[in-house]
Amino acid sequence: MGIGKVYLVGAGPGDSELITVKGVEAIKKADVILYDRLVNPRLLEYAKANCELIYCGKLPTRHFMKQDEINQTLLEKALAGFTVVRLKGGDPSVFGRVGEEAEVLADYNVNFEIVPGITSGIAAPLYAGIPVTHRDYAGSFAMVTAHDKSKNGKPDIDWEGLARGVQTIAFYMGISNLEHICDNLILNGKSPNTPVIVIRWGTWSRQQCVEGTLSSIVQKVRDENIENPAITLVGDIVATREKTKWFEKKPLFGQQILLARGSADEKSMAADLIDKGADVIEFPKWEIKEKALDRAVKQKVTSYRRILFKTTEAVTHFFNLLRKNKIDIRHVQAKLYCLQPSSIIAIENKGLIAQSADNMDTDGSLLIIGGKIKNEQRWKLDYKYGVHDYASVYETSIDERFDMVIKRSIDDAAITTILLPSSDAVHMYMKKAEHYELSSHLNDPLISVICLNKQAFQTATMYGLKPTLMVENINPFTQASVNVMAKTQ
């Protein structure tokens, strides 16, 4: 195996949809990903099933991996022939130390590409409703590090040039040096009444904004206990926020939701929740592996009169297996039925017609297609559908690579809501609560526990939980269900 390649990728500021297309494509082909603390964990879901995930995040008080260790790991993995992605929050060239990493790779003749990303100094203000330039307020903009390699950790910059020559200034990670920043800007010509906004966790639903002036912002930030990660924006442009803020108006803004999934077959509602403004942590993460088509089923597949798909995954893998086994779909004569509406759509997208299982007749041999199931689940199918064959075309397991990702996400969040979509999800939550350090969340009076059907509610009650409420038909979302969720904040 020859030398591999390294992609130094900007992941954007937090919102997972702000990564570039090129960044996503790099993640998809990676054998190894080294990711930072501020990278949205949802981006790692693009990775291959066998991709190695290495957390190298930094906190103000401790580093999981020092920069020298990161550099060495990039080198070792690339020299071993792997495709490596270094996934960095924001843009890798804006205080992201990408230059240092690229120099090390160049010294060893390792091929690399740098993929730009959206930097938080622009994105966080925009999600707070503030453009960093505006014809009426600001025609210049600067991005400034609020800490550097100086002995006292204070930024060593041209304060006079900054104060007098730049109309909008974004300071990165400046909470510990905020008083030093404000004092120096005032001493060098900025008015004490210059508007300032500090934006913590910009572009996330947990985003917090504290507004003030150069003379008042330090005390306001202390009063609100604001910590990094944060962007401090200084300039008259801050005054535009009241009219143009938009992100904070989303119905579920501020909701930090822990979404339990009882199985890989449960449809995730995370995308809908995020679109409404929430942060969502899904757990556990499920891994799906395709299985070979059973020899007996393969020989008989064209002779069945009825085929019932239990899940949408079953549809996907069944048709994949037909193709792999060189079985022409035109030779499959069965009527097609599905348990889930999404499965019907998946079949229709292949140019075929399917019906709901509720409309299935009883005429002819039946093949049921799904994932690997337990004996008691087989018994239920026998009871409901009578004589049939069963084809297990995939199997699921918990993807333990995401354990660190999930735990880190929970540590960074302040959970407001726990969603339990099914009875299986309740069982899974109780089984994994201690592993993910979630036990204390169940009886926290500040956290709403919402069950999404009667079975989930009954199971939660059986465990001694006290669900805040039960909301049925929350997915697909109706305005009524969104209103219920928003009221739990």
List, by residue number, the catalytic residues: 36, 58, 173
Contact 214, 162 (CB under 8 A): no
Which contiguous run of DSSP H or E holds residue 309?
strand 306-309
Strand, coil or helix: what is 488?
coil
Strand, coil or helix: what is 186?
helix
Beta-carbon-side half-sphere exposure of residue 46 (alpha carbons within 13 Å): 22
Alpha-helical segments (H) within 308-422? 312-324, 341-348, 375-385, 403-412
- What is the DSSP track for 356-368? EGGG----S-EEE
Helical packing angle, 423-432 and 454-462, nearest 10°: 30
For 109-114, the CB contacts below 8 A with 24+ separation are 109/3, 110/3, 110/4, 110/5, 110/6, 110/74, 110/75, 110/78, 110/79, 111/3, 111/4, 111/5, 111/6, 112/5, 112/6, 112/7, 112/8, 113/5, 113/6, 113/7, 113/8, 113/26, 114/7, 114/8
Strand, coil or helix: what is 115?
strand
Which amino acid is it at 147?
H
Beta carbons within 8 Å of 190's beta carbon, 6+ residues apart: 163, 214, 234
The first and second tokens of residue 327, run together, are 């079985």
Question: Among candidates 205, 252, 250, which has minimal Cα distance to 450?
Answer: 252
User: How many other C-beta atoms lie within 10 A of the C-beta of residue 439?
Assistant: 11
- Token look-up 């803020």 returns 245
Give the whole-angstrom CA distance, residue 236 versus residue 195: 6
Which amino acid is it at 173?
M
Beta carbons within 8 Å of 385's beta carbon, 6+ residues apart: 308, 366, 368
Give the whole-angstrom CA distance, residue 150 versus residue 164: 24
In the chain, what are the helix, strand and coil shares in percent, each to the nearest 5?
A: 35, 20, 40
